[in-house]
Chain A
Amino acid sequence: MQVGFRSVNLSHKKERQNSGSRQNFEIWSWFFMRISGLVLIFLALIHFSMTHIFTDVTQTTVSYVAKKWANPLWRVFDWLLLTLGLLHGTNGVRFILDDYVRNAKFRAGIKATVYLISFLLFLLGTVTIVTFKGSIA
């Protein structure tokens, strides 16, 4: 395809702008992974030890959840774990896809699918935490 001088210039300018904002995004992404990672160490390990070590997994019944979520602070705790976990995980999967999926169109398609699944699960998790009204049996 023949490309005129003008359009080459324009596309170069656009590319420069894109790579600038992309670099900026990657710096924030790098920073976010470190900070969310540090927070998640506490959230995830406390959550795991409560539901697998100090309580046997078979005892984490609906009434266990009802007792825990009777305190709104535990709902905030679990919502933070959900949100940071999904963001940290989705961004991590983005790195993996950038590294191993070479075909640009295919990569964009898989990324869009992963983002959609993460977003839907974020909605499902948020609705579950906010609307749960189980009584302490």
Chain B
Amino acid sequence: MPQSTRYRGKTGQWAFILHRVTGFLIFLFILLHVVDVAMVNFPSTYNAIHRLYGNVLLRLFEVGLLFALLFHSLNGLRVVMIDFFPESIRNERMFFISVLAITSLLTIVGGVIILKPFFTGSVG
């Protein structure tokens, strides 16, 4: 087995687990989301559901969804890069830390925007 493709655990293993968990959660959300959007032909039901999404618990859930989307996207890029450029596995740990850092930063920025209306009371 070539050195470059050998499985080494450690950060790669955490990346793998987080990729699975976030992917599975996003899939469950898609199932729910297709059903709630299908209510668009029943306007009062649709609008009631989307008012519900303004609730603080569901806003926190949206921040979680943002984290999952960002991590799965950026880690997916990392996976694609390692697949197509196997030499880049040397910097695997650095890439994983970058993925986590960018994901966290964007989740915090997006999270503030998503949660702010609830605390200022401007909507929902």
Interfacial residues, chain A to chain B (CB-CB below 8 A): 34, 37-38, 40-41, 44-45, 48-49, 52-53, 56-62, 65, 82, 85-86, 89-90, 92-93, 96, 117, 121, 124-125, 127-128, 131-132, 134
* B residues less than 8 Å from A127 (CB atoms): 38
**Closest A residue, CB atoms, query B38:** A128
A99 to B89 Cα, complex, angstroms: 24
* B residues less than 8 Å from A56 (CB atoms): 54, 117, 123-124
* B residues less than 8 Å from A117 (CB atoms): 31
A52-B114, A85-B30, A125-B37 are contacts. A58–B54 as well, Cβ < 8 Å?
yes
B21 CB to nearest A CB, Å: 10
Q: Given A53, A57, A85, A128, which contacts B110 in the complex, CB threshold below 8 Å?
A: A53
- Is B96 close to A, CB under 8 A? no
* B residues less than 8 Å from A40 (CB atoms): 73
Interface size on B, residues (CB 8 A): 38
**Closest A residue, CB atoms, query B116:** A56
Q: Given B37, B53, B73, B79, which contacts A44 in the complex, CB threshold below 8 Å?
A: B73
- Is B24 close to A, CB under 8 A? yes
A86, B30: Cβ atoms under 8 Å? yes
Ranked nearest first, the 10 interchain pairs of A and B with the lowest CB-CB distance are A89-B27, A58-B54, A62-B43, A41-B73, A57-B53, A121-B34, A125-B34, A128-B38, A37-B76, A58-B124
